[in-house]
Structure 1
C-alpha cells in the first residue's frame, strides 16, 4: 500500500484474512465452529457443509472480481486468478454435494485441490516474473501481455513501426 500498489495490498491482505479464517474454522478445539453447527443439526455435518460452501462461494465471487481486475495485465497473472477461482468453486461445490456417507464430494474436492496446486505454481511463477529482471537475473521469464493491454499495444506498435521501416 505504501508503494501505491492498492491491488497487491487488497489481494494479499484479503487472502491473508481468508487463510486465518480457514485456520479458525478447522483448528480442533479452537473456536468450535464445526462442532457447534453439527450439534445444531443433530450430529450431522450437513449444516456446516452448507455454511462453509456459502462461505467459499463468497470467496469465489471476490476472486472473480479480482480476476476481472487482471484482464489488462498479463496472461500469467490472469491465469493465476482464473485457476484459483475455479478451484474455490469446485471445493465449494464439493461441500454443497456431499456423498451418501455425509462426506464432501471426493471428486470435486480432488479436482479443486489439483487446481489449487496449479494456482500455487502460478503464484510462484508470477512472483518470480515480478522480481526477476535484467538488473538481477540472467533471464527474464515470459509473462505474455494481452494484446489489449498497454504493453501489448505498445509492442504491436513497435512491431508495426519496425516492419514499415
Structure 2
C-alpha cells in the first residue's frame, strides 16, 4: 500500500511539471486587446469589429482558458485574474453589441462609470497581491487600476479629455502586459533571464529558506 501511494504521488507531480505556463497567453490576450481598445479611446479610430472580435476571442476566451489552466496549476491569483478579466472583455463587448440585438437598452454614461469603477476596485485589490509577485505585474495592475478609474471619471463627467488621457495610459498598460508575456516566454526558452520581470516571491522564499536552515 505504501509503494502504491508513492507511485500515485509521483504521477501527480509529473503531470503538474508537464503543464505549460498559461500566464503568457493570458497576458498577451489582455495586453494586445487593451492596446487596441485604448488606441480607439485616444481618438485614433472609431469602435469597430476588429476591437469587438479581439475582445471576444483573444481578450475574452484566451484569458478564460488561461485562467482555467491556472486553476489546474493551483495558482489562485492567476486563476482569479485571467478568468475575471476574460469575462470583463466578454461583458464589455456585450454592453456594446446587445442593445443593437434588441437585448435591453444601451448603458448610460453613469452606468458605465459605475461598471468601470467596480472593476477599478477589484483591480486595486489585485494590485496589492502583485506586491508579493513581480515588479512587472505591479506596473500592469497599477496602471490598469488607474485606467479603470480614469475611464470611470471620464464617463461620469463626460469630459473627453479625461477619456483621451485614459487612452494613452491604457496603451502603456497594455504594452507592459505584452512585455511581461514575452519576457516569460523568452526566459523559459533560453533557460535564463533574457528580459527582467523583477520577481519578488522567489527572493522572499529564498530568505525564508535561509532563516529556516540557520535555525
Same fold (TM over 0.5): yes
Q: TM-score range by the shorter chain?
A: 0.7 to 0.9
Point out which structure has higher relative CO (alpha carbons under 8 A, 6+ apart): 2
* CA distance in 1 between partners of 2:77 and 2:117 (Å): 21
Which residue of structure 1 aligns with residue 74 of structure 2?
4
Which residue of structure 2 aligns with residue 86 of structure 1?
146
The secondary structure found in structure 2 opposite 1:50 is helix
Give the helix-richer structure, 1 or 2: 2
Which residue of structure 1 aligns with residue 185 of structure 2?
131
1:6-155 matches, within 5 Å, as 6-27=76-97, 29-30=100-101, 31-34=103-106, 48-98=108-158, 105-133=159-187, 135-136=189-190, 140-146=194-200, 149-151=201-203, 154=206
Deviations 1:104-163 (A, max 9, x none): x211101111111111101111112222226436861012245xx5416848xx9xxxxx
How many corresponding residue pairs?
Answer: 137
The secondary structure found in structure 1 opposite 2:73 is coil
Which residue of structure 1 aligns with residue 13 of structure 2?
none
Query: Where do 5+ consecutive residues of structure 1 fail to align?
Result: 38-47, 99-104, 159-165
TM-score w.r.t. structure 2 length? 0.57
Query: Where do 5+ consecutive residues of structure 2 fail to align?
Result: 1-70, 211-215
The verdict on how the C-alpha distance between 1:134 and 1:58 changes in structure 2, with shifts beyond 3 A counting, is closer
The verdict on how the C-alpha distance between 1:95 and 1:124 changes in structure 2, with shifts beyond 3 A counting, is same
**CA RMSD of the aligned region, Å?**
2.4
